[in-house]
Structure 1
């Protein structure tokens, strides 16, 4: 028995999921990403993560991941601020074959109690954003980063620059050239960075 889900943020970065998970890059039609999941870590640090909402005429790139059903509880714990949206396979198209996903394909969307725009008190962690963008870069190169920036709403939400001392639990180490590319594109986008974390 397996589960199949669509990842559109950190789940795109295969370094954050168990080894052996079957991952298929593709596109989900009729959805858009938003910086609209707020919560606190055990140490009280507020943070903002990604969610999605339906929006006609849009599409987001991501990955279809399949893994044993025995890992579902662990996945749901990771996505504890989210609820499952079932049966989105018809909106998915695989990059390689353009075939739709299976009927049982699901995704995670923000639970109502956590669904609000990020703020200075709940910023985007740079270590989280780095992880997401590195995942898109691995699958689609620079075009993947551009796509993510263009199809994600909420860039008014500030970013906490914690790259030197990462607060994100699934932090990754960026290749220096990829870090420079990301920084350049965020600067061009006019992203607001808060004072560095101490």
Structure 2
């Protein structure tokens, strides 16, 4: 890739919103239109993770960041259960126009989360910490309000995190997550 070709960007809407989980440059807040965020389990993973699904009129807040020299290998490895798709409609805080891709699981490969395939609390904590840092409490509340699939239970692995990029939460962040789950009536599991 020549020096004159701008780097492509990804749009993160889950753990990639938490800058502590990656070192991709030129990160900026963004919002995509035409995509919704939901919890799904793919046949490639044991637990439920966030994915994006096309949905007219829906919006997702998140973070964009550059993929230097279009070297997608590391990010594709991290997001191995997903395919990349071009984002057509996006607003962002980056100072220049950018080409953006979003990761989404293949519909034929995913199912809803369940007690056998729950949401990991260590993953959710990491995601919400990113939203709190980028968008404040109002933005983190919007994350909970605009995410689908909360019928899946949450496995409480906070004491022994399973998610490999988990981040320790402050007391206030922990209380925020716990209160949001209570408000939504999400069932918590203490064992798999």
Paired with 1:56 and 1:22, the residues of 2 have a C-alpha distance of 28
- Cα deviation, 1:98-119, whole Å, max 9, x if unaligned, reads x8x52x3111100345321111
TM-superposed deviation, 1:81: 0.3
Structure 2 spans left out of the alignment, 5+ residues: 2-6
SS of aligned partner of 1:106: strand
1:78 aligned partner: 78
1:14 to 16, 19, 24: 19
Q: 2:28 aligns with which of 24, 38, 43?
A: 24
Count of residue pairs the alignment pairs up: 187
Query: Do structure 1's residue 69 and structure 2's residue 64 form an aligned pair?
Result: no
Aligned residue number for residue 175 of structure 2: 180
SS across alignment from 1:75: helix
| Offset of residue 6 of structure 1 | 0.5
Give the corresponding residue for 1:130: 125
Name the CA distance, whole Å, in 1 between partners of 2:117 and 2:71: 29
**In 1, Cα distance between the equivalents of 2:129 and 2:76?**
23
> What pairs up with 1:17-166 in 2 under 5 angstroms?
17-18=22-23, 21-39=25-43, 46-69=46-69, 71-86=71-86, 88=87, 90-95=88-93, 102=98, 104-112=99-107, 114-166=109-161
Gaps of 5+ in 1: none
The separation in 2 between residues aligned to 1:149 and 1:12, in whole angstroms, is 14
Q: CA 1:129–1:75 in structure 2 vs 1: closer, same or farther (change >3 Å)?
A: same
Q: Deviations over 1:9-33 (max 9, x none)?
A: 1110001112x52101021111110
Q: CA RMSD in A?
A: 1.9
Q: Which runs of 4+ in 1 moved over 6 A?
A: none
